[in-house]
Structure 1
Amino acid sequence: MDKFEMYVEIRGMLNQKYSISTIARKLNISRNTVYKYIRKSPEEMAEWTASTLTRSKKLDIHKELILHWLREFPDLTAAQVQDWLKEKYPEFKVGESTVRSYVRYLRDDYQIPKESSTRNYQAIPDPPMGEQIQVDFGFKTVKNQYGKPVKLVFIVFVLSHSRYKYIEYQNRPFTTKDVISAHRNAFKEFGGVSKEILYDQDRLIVVSENKGDILLTEEFQQFVNEIKFEVKLCRKADPESKGKVENAVKFIKNNFINNRVFHNIDSWNEQSQKWLKRTGNGKIHNGTKRRPADVFLLEKQHMRQVNSLNHIHKTSITRSVRKDNTILYLSNRYSVPLGTFQKYTEVLYYVTEDNKLVIYVQESGEILATHNISPDKGKLIQNRSHQRDKSKGIKELIEIISERFTNKSQATQYLNELKIRYPRYIRDQLSLIKKCIDLDSFEVIDEALALCMERKLFSANDFQDVVSLFKRQRQVNSTNASDEQIEASYNDIAELTLADTEANQRPLEDYFTIMRSTK
């Protein structure tokens, strides 16, 4: 209905003794709008309505763009529209209420309804500055530039007093090591650590609440001992106890993530940091009525400084990383994670007061290993987790890899068959298939999977060879080659090998027969 019709409707409901709140609810408008309408006489309302028909609006220059967004993403919020306009036009200065009114006007005028859901939280007084950080995880499935779904997982840190936020995203599940790394980055962003940190009962952090005697995972307990902060857990089924970070997760999903296209995890994190500066920490908070970035400048002064965050130590010494992924210290070899030698030629170490050797990277401050110092000579002191990346279980790896295929159920069936046939080498099998996926297009790997299932070629090496055959076939077919050239191209596959694999290959005649039968 137009404005004058709404005015008549409001007047009629007032005559029927409806309350202002009831009128607002029934007409789906705010109470302020009801008050604005009832203050006008019929003549004033008619004159004002006529003036609005000819009066231009500030956002009319962006009308087509906003309409396109609303039609493509009907659940888009006015706050998101404002953020997207700021992202696209850095000089955009229109206020939030103006954007909200304009979006409401477009939705009414072009009949683009919006569905919304609400969640109620109990108000909890803000703790003092520097007293508490709240941490939580979130996940959201988005679409990449090819229209395929990508599941993103993120961790959020919120300073409870200022509401200043820090976020990190991954397109794979978090491990405890990832969580610890994110904590270090958050503490650097905050300029220190708070007295206590409030968590959900997440398995990456907590083993058991144990009736108040909290049991943390071994790796996270070592981190807590190093940084020295108090761990607090919110009770089960009681999200209000950490409502600040719950609200932050919801805000991130609805304002930053929703309807955004994923390209790669690095650019996504970069966009997130810009969003935090522009909106997440730069916009006035509805609860505090202040910008988190402004309040943070004061709260930062109350954060406890931790020297080990930057790993700057007076006795830090440089050591070369050996080919066997160890460093030498007092005639003993101490391990670092597998693959460190390929990443870093040198690392630094220092000795703590409790006689532990801490090995870290100078550029990023990342701690690679912490070992108890051995009094013996000529020993290898090795952390078993450094021998192989066990951060993900086989089930999780299968889940991650199968999501890369169009036919996820078929991919899961294929990978589970590999698990049955190669129980000792399943990680190597999955790693080889993942490399094929990373290097080739969706069409090729989907075709290779279908053929492997059809011909019962249950081996990662078979899968790799079939992918190579399909690629070569596409290249040859695109040039209208003869049968002799096609056959020669298949013979060239013998030269295609993958680094770090020494598995036997099937005779090329087998693949030639298979490919001929599919033509």
Structure 2
Amino acid sequence: MKSDGEIMEILNAYDLTGSYRAAADLCGCSHHTVKKAVEDRAAGLPAAGRRARLIDDQRQLLEGWVQDSRGKIRGDKAHEKLVALGYEGSQRTTRRALAEVKAQWRLGNSRVHRPWITEPGLWLQYDFGDGPVVDGRKVVLLVAWLAWSRFRVVIALRDRTAASVFAGLDRVFRMIGGAPTYVLTDNEKTVTTGHVAGVPVRNRGAVTFGRYYGVSVQTCQPADPATKGGVENAVKLAKDDIVPKETNLLGAYESFAAVQAACAQFTETVNARTHRGTGRRPADMLAEEARVLHAIPELPHTAALGVTRRVPDNTAMVSFERGQYSVPDSLVGQTVWVRHHPGTDEVIVCALDDGGPVEVARHRRTGPGNPAVDPAHFPHHADKTPGDYRVRPRNAAETAFLALGPGARVWLTEAAAVGTERIRQKMAHAVELAALTGRADVDWALGHAAVHGRFATGDLDAIPAAKDTDPTRRRSSEHTSLAQGTGGWDLFGKTIIADGAEQ
């Protein structure tokens, strides 16, 4: 219910505007309230005012506190102040009255935004978001937003250092097909070192980066994210779709490459949808905007990536500050950039691919005589153990012998280890014997000879000859067991004559 004074204000506002909704906006109430007050007046009824409340006497204090705090004062704090002044009402009443005063204050003090109309190829905004956790470390999401086409790009970074950010922006430029005129971001230390009389002092690295690509790096007002609201909204969407949460039912990422794949999928998906503001797909609008973007150098900006090192042709290791660090073996013979991560004991190695700079290795800092090696950088490497020789035939005779089977390989290894004489003649004899008796039997004999150390002349002939020729030898099968039975006890106490008859 409204007080008598508020009813009069509503009626005056309606007489001035002639519209229920316009009067409601001026008075901070519902247009249904305005309509009821106007209809009651037209019918000659008294205004349906509400009874006076205890909080009405304190309304002027509430208005002053809201004005002084610019609408930030909380209901519990306002109630504490009123109680100290002798107010005896409930906190619920205070909160409701304070909400009404705040609503009235916002009508004249809220910030009104004007639509931002920009030219194609003029502005690009970028910001950062907290990505998923991989291997105990939180990934950084670099989100870029092209203002005219609403094209969004999300790139996963391992950190927010200048080298990583500049490398990520280079990849963004190459993905959109050029560089814009202005790049807008927050007052990060990678861009702004401080402010003097409200004027931002640019980081020399950011100035060098902008000069290299022909862009002007600008920063928004401190603590005013609304000046780059486009990319702020893009960051929110990217985090909702990429970072695992209970709402999106995403699982944990196994590797950094999986996060990169998720970012690429999000970029493709979001730019293929029709944008609500333009009614067109950002991917289609980018094709038009790319025509007016500035061309970028063929080689990326590498000044912040570190010192250059050439990977040798015969080993995937680079030297940096008296230590050696491994890189993927696919980079042998190429140039890489090595730097020390500020504030940590990590060494980062970057290389170039078709999309620009990319981090290829990250090691703990090491010293002389203790190289840092990542086994994943040598996927085709096999450790060589002394005495473990690779059996490789080099002529027709050796090929024919080793073709007998695995037993032949074992026999050759064991026979050579004990210094067997006339080994080539024995190998040739095994091939001849296989032609007569069968390859499988000879290979079986060679394996047994190697296990039992029988490498003398004639041993290879004796082993197959003795196979299955002993009448006293019993073998187990599906129907016969080698366990001793009790059938022999049946002969106990009986005499066996020579012909096998019993007495």
Q: What is the TM-score with the length of structure 2 in the denominator?
A: 0.40
Instruction: Say which structure is richer in helix.
Output: 1
TM-score (norm 1): 0.39
